[in-house]
Amino acid sequence: MSFNDERGSSTAEFAVLLPAVAVMLSLVLGFGVLGIQQIQVQQAAGAMARELARGEDSATARASGVKLAGNEARFWQSTASGYAQVHVSKSVRLPIVGSIQVHGQASVAVE
């Protein structure tokens, strides 16, 4: 056996790099999920504000928000000074990073 034998070196390099690749992949997928949740929360806020501005009751607007953002989201709504204002927040749990809050808000002039 020679000391210049390089058989198995690519396997060893792969074994060393695999955990780093797995962590990077987890982070990329996690932030993709975070982006999707942010979009859903913002869409929920917009839909709720539009419904409140049209004169729908708050239960109907909340049902629309729950449909888009989910049951675990928190909603704040107000129709003051001629505007329907809605704020939606949701906690998103990501592996490695932990829990992150996403927020969405919308304001629409009351018709």
Residue-by-residue pLDDT tens, the chain, 111 positions: 556 666 767 888 888 899 999 989 988 998 899 999 999 999 999 999 999 999 999 999 999 999 999 999 999 999 888 999 999 999 999 877 889 999 999 999 998
Residue 108: beta bridge partners?
84
**What is the rounded distance in angstroms from the CA atom of residue 64 to the CA atom of residue 22?**
37
Torsion region of 96: left, alpha or beta (phi above 0 gives left; psi -120 to 50 gives alpha): left
Report pLDDT for 94: 85
What count of other Cβ atoms lies within 10 Å of the Cβ of residue 75?
18
Task: Return the C-alpha torsion angle 75, 84, 42, 57, nearest 10.
Answer: 60
* Spatial CB neighbours of 82, under 8 Å, sequence gap ≥ 6: 109, 110
* Spatial CB neighbours of 64, under 8 Å, sequence gap ≥ 6: 44, 47, 48, 51
Q: Of all helices (H) and strands (E), which one includes residue 96? A: none
* Residue 1: DSSP 8-state: -
pTM of the model: 0.80
Report pLDDT for 88: 97
